A and B are shown apart, each in its own frame.
Chain A
Amino acid sequence: MTVPYGTPQAPNPGHSLGIDIGGTFTDIVVYDHRAARQYSLKVLTTHDDPVRAVMSGVGRILHDNGIAAGSVHRLVHATTLFTNAVIERKGALTGLVTTRGFRDSLEIARESRYELYDLNIENPPPIVPRHLREEVSERTQANGEVLQPLDPAELTHAVERLVARDVTSVAVVFLHAYANPAHEIAAATLIRARFPHLFVTVSHEVVREIREYERASTTVINAYVKPLAHGYLEDLRTRMGDEAIPAKLLLMLSNGGLTHLAEARKNPVQMLESGPAAGALAAAHFGRDDGGDHLLAFDMGGTTAKLSVVDDGEPLVAYGFEAARQKRFMHGSGLPVRISTIELIEIGAGGGSIARVDELGLLKVGPESAGSEPGPACYGLGGTEATVTDADLVLGYLNPEYFAGGTMKVELERARAAIAKLARQVGLPAEKVAWGIHDIVNENMASAARVHIAERGRDPKTYAILCTGGAGPAHVFYVARKIGVKSIVCPPSAGVASALGLLVAPASVDRVATLGMRLDRGDWGLLESAFTSLEREAKSVIADAGFPVDEATVQRFADGRFVGQGHDLVVPLPPGPYDRDDAQRTRAALQGAFERASREKFSRTPPDVPIEFINIRVSMRVRVPGTDIATESVAAAAGSAHKGWRDAWFPEVGYARTRIYARRMLRPGDGFNGPAIVEDEGSTLVVGPGAVATVTPSQNVRVDFS
């Protein structure tokens, strides 16, 4: 895509720039608002200095497309660098200061196992080892009252000891600081004054929630990546300025919202899942016109598949996730991070997933992956084990001459040899084994999807599925059939779609505080002022970022429970302000909101037990001007999209002569029946027999079947 637009000399306020730094590639996307046209570029991430790849890529994309730096009015950034720093343990040497008696909370953790049969099980090592965890005398009680004042001399000595051990970032986690943060505030003030070179993170500023282990885990991770975030975000901003890009730098958060630099530098832990969040937003965006109100966003790449649920155009948000899982796909094996985040599940299923025979003699696929090196057997880089990509080639789904848009050489014969080897092991014909690999990896993803949807209490039949990623479109058809979904949406450039999510994000700020109030004896004045105070905080972040505060919408939530219940449920509440004078009405409104949500979740009438609000939350969002992204209009049609025929294998009919379409040539209104294959530059859509595909006005290919 190198169609020049406009004249570089003329000031043109019409471009948005998105930058997504991943572990391997940095994606850069530019959207031209006037021409409704998008440009994208993939460059290798430069790990020693990530900003270098960004700057050279940005320079190239602007230059190649004749875009003036001065016309970039919007600059949005997401990154997996912080997540990778946690996974690879490459953050700052971090110390922890806790209430006396509790420095081991971080290590004792929850005491439960994530795997039942492994006798050599290992917890992820704590981010801060024991010899860097210090205790000081101070104590606040559960009701927020101070029992013992903070001893400043002890604190100074504790931090001195940490500094003597080369610590550069310090986390402070005091018991019950969610209820009364006075001691943490005092500690932060003292440390900043006495040790100005240290980075300081105090727990209540990161996550103001009860449960000391989860709060400490989140706080130390924030402290661990803070020096890194500080340096590199500042660097990015400066060098963007040097290039005369006038736009203010905005950062994507894990929940899909945006924030400004100061907030991101203070709490970088909030950016941990920003990359996947951009992907989910992109999916929501592409599915807006053709996916209906309920969408499953299905992204399948080389190593993993990700799945998220989008209801009414908004990806579902969770209030916590796990970083750096010890066993990659095992729930509970990671470090808890209590921040709001787009909810997604990750499955060990991708193009590189390896097929093998297990102890039962059954065929298994993944989660082990051949990765990009050596990669699938067909790459010819030394891989000899059959992978999903090899199977897809043998089945005729992928075109060896047009792999990655023809930029990469793959060898069908090597794929065949790898599959044949496996076929001998299980004693079945090769095409059956190739289909078996395709079918089993699909079943793995479909099973995970079914369980995930069940966890949300949703019915898969009411969903459409939107596919992205290099392998997503090739697998979506039979995954959809397995889940019971009736229609598929495949966006243009599905292989690289996710960076565009950066450009459609709203600004958003989430705040949480622990309250602990029973509704049968609620103090509505206190509740209202607690909400107002959170809203004031959120508003100031939005104002600081330069967004129109007046247009912001606020949603209040509470983490409530029936007294005696062991877990909380996050429920949306009616808008404020709550009337303290009409206590009856306020109580009825809040109770009603909680009971409604409870009925929806538990599918039954709640018990006759008082309700308690543990935490309250506000989520403030404001639409950012210029996030109206239309899908680009396609250049004039040049010939038919039907570019040829290929034999491809379908379980319904065996090998069949199948029509091949060129994605670039498809226009809105075009339609065709399965079996058919649609080749795009970075992905291939497989449409099985009996399905009907149409190209929608939004440029999506929509596939329906009964």
Chain B
Amino acid sequence: MDGTEHSYDPIVLEVIRTRVTSIVDEGAKVIVRTSFSMLLNEANDYSCVLTDDRGLLLAQNTASLPSFIGTLPNTVRHFIDAIGITAMHPGDVLITNNPWKGSGHLNDVQLVKPVFHADRLVAFAACCAHVPDIGGRIRSVEPREVFEEGFHIPPMKLLREGIPDESLLTLMRTNVRTPDQTVGDLFAQVGALEVMEQRLRTLMDDYGLRSLDAFADELYRRSDAAMRDAVRALPGGTYRYEMITDGLDEPFTFRIALTIAGDAIDVDYAGTSPQQSRGINVVYAYTFAMTAYALKCALLPELPNNEGMFRALTVRAPEGSLLNARFPASVGGRICSGDYLPSLVFGALHQVIPDRVSAAPGSPLWSMVISGVREDGKPYANVLFYNGGMGATSRKDGVSCYSWPNNIASTPVEVTERDTPFFVRYKRLRENSGGEGRHCGGLGQDILLESRSRTPMAAVFLAERTRMPAPGLAGGGAGGLGDVQINGRSIDVRRLHLLNEGDELLVRTPGAGGYGDVRERGADAIARDRREGWRYSLPQDGVDGNAR
């Protein structure tokens, strides 16, 4: 085939697109296979992409988390600006974990490799992974500046023409708690980039391509057209929605004005609370990613991510607000703010497409980091994740205890008891915690943990919706509030707490919002609620033998 005069018909385009996607998925498998960290192996907390030579997204790996939409191409473009294409050479690998140029917190390290083919820079392979540890404080909302949150790597070269920067590696090993794993996982990423580079070159050889630009432009054009078609079908206008969340001393306000004008969507978060001197701020890239994610869920859930998909979308957030924090804001607990955004977008979109959105989930994801010193003097730290319910839709009840919009599995009870000083009394569905509605919100869960540690154990939380519940939609009720108790008393989840031997910690994750009027709930659904004992506030018939 002729590389210069290539016509990308719907067949050739699809074949090459499938192949490009398999290249990023292959890169993803290399990361999973060669990394030590559980966050990469089990929680998919990484992303692999290919961009064209302009830093525009060609393909992103299939299982990539919402928070990575559009972030890596941004990083590539930052490198193009900061280093310049002419200063990039075959074998170079670029690195940064700057939250503003990456994906929003220091734990995510981004690597970028310029791909050369026939002596020309034709593309970039890039990946981002959550490393096991990046130094600084144990993750919580406590840090007041990003400097407390760990080792900060500005955009620079990790490998120069294949040679690693030993000074950087020494600094890194010195500044993190798990040098072997953290540096090891960096090289797992390098391995993924090399595989993607090789496979892309083979693809270009197979199809006789000298450049990817024509393929890319046609792919973007079609994706952009599909999104604009979907947007054009919506009634024009500005739709507003607002959510009050737990906040710190005072609640936070999240405000959205979503404007549909012809085939374009503008999202403006003006009116959202200002940035805080705690680690719950969000960088713009994360704000964009979460907004784009929600839009794709509602409009085109089955199409692949690429540059064209979000050309119709503009996202604005006032600089200095929670959703566009300025350096050196602390950003480690970004999920505490950023993960509200999809629900905010849905709240606005619900006014025009009520059947294509969901009520608010009982998230953001909850996590608890425990640390201390064992009797033998050895320090330990463990992180445990728990999820609330997923929001109901016009079609169905929300799933109980389901990670959304993030996607992190929970730690099994048997593993918790093996690896931490906790003894688990129960872990059960939180009956009645889902918002009522024609379709009910997913349930949260109750976990009762008892400390068996002879030495004091410190616990810090990322927990939301302990004061402001997940709202329902279309008349559906709010989900149950989350709560954390020590020995029967609710605690302030923003602060560090010490647990002594025998102390009981009750973690109650929030339920999700319901959808529609509960009086319209079907008889079958009510019968199931009663039989399964999920919702005892609904009329009881007293038959349930399992009720306690």
Contact = CB atoms under 8 A, between A and B. Distances in A.
Interface of A: 100-105, 107-113, 116-123, 129-131, 133-134, 141-142, 161, 164-165, 175-176, 178, 210-214, 357-364, 426, 428, 432-433, 435-436, 439-440, 443-444, 446-448, 450-451, 454-455, 457, 482, 484, 516, 562, 564-567, 601-604, 607-609
B10 A363 contact: yes
B351 to A, nearest CB: 17
B174 to A, nearest CB: 16
Contacts of B302: 117, 359
B19 A426 contact: no
Contacts of B414: 142, 175-176, 178, 210-212
B38 A119 contact: no
B36 A111 contact: no
Interface in B432-482: 445, 448
A213 B412 contact: yes
A101 B29 contact: no
B417 interface: yes
B234 interface: no
Contact of B66 (A116, A118, A130, A603): A116
> What class of interface size applies to chain B in its complex with A?
35 or more
Contacts of B293: 117
B11 A210 contact: no
Contacts, number: 232
A604 B187 contact: yes
A609 B448 CA distance: 32
Interface stretch (B239-247, B257-265, B401-409): B401-409
Interface stretch (B111-119, B141-149, B323-331, B420-428): B420-428
Contacts of A602: 33-36, 184, 188
Contacts of A142: 414, 417-418
Nearest to B346: A119
B253 interface: no
A102 B426 contact: yes
A451 B36 contact: no
Interface of B: 9-11, 13-15, 17-19, 21-22, 25-26, 29-30, 32-39, 41-43, 63-66, 178, 180-181, 184, 187-188, 191, 195, 199, 202, 222-223, 226, 229, 293, 296-298, 300-303, 356-358, 385-387, 390-391, 393, 395-396, 399-404, 407-410, 412-415, 417-418, 423-429, 445, 448, 531-534, 544-546
B415 A443 contact: no
Nearest to A118: B301
12 contacts: A111-B409, A112-B403, A112-B409, A122-B396, A129-B531, A436-B11, A440-B11, A457-B33, A565-B37, A602-B33, A603-B191, A604-B34
Given A102-B428, A567-B41, A359 B14 contact: no
Given A101-B426, A123-B399, A565 B13 contact: no
B26 A454 contact: yes
A107 B442 CA distance: 12
A433 B11 contact: yes
B11 A131 contact: no
Contacts of A357: 10
A380 B181 CA distance: 60
Nearest to A121: B399
Contacts of B18: 440, 443-444, 447
Given A118-B301, A440-B18, A444-B18, A607 B181 contact: yes
Contacts of A211: 412, 414-415
A161 B545 contact: yes
B83 to A, nearest CB: 27
Contacts of B298: 119
Contact of B19 (A129, A447, A604): A447
Given A101-B428, A102-B428, A447 B412 contact: no
User: Looking at A448, A451, A516, which has the most chain B CB atoms within 10 Å of its CB?
Assistant: A451
Given A111-B409, A564-B181, A566-B42, A359 B427 contact: no
Contact of A607 (B42, B180, B544, B546): B180
Contact of A455 (B33, B35, B396): B33
A359 B303 contact: yes
Of all A-B residue pairs in the complex, the 5 with the closest CB atoms, nearest first, are: A566-B38, A101-B426, A607-B180, A436-B11, A447-B22
B184 A604 contact: yes
A565 B36 CA distance: 6
Contacts of A446: 22
Given A142-B417, A212-B414, A443 B10 contact: no
A514 to B, nearest CB: 9
B250 to A, nearest CB: 31
A432 B429 contact: no
A426 B532 contact: no
B396 A117 contact: no
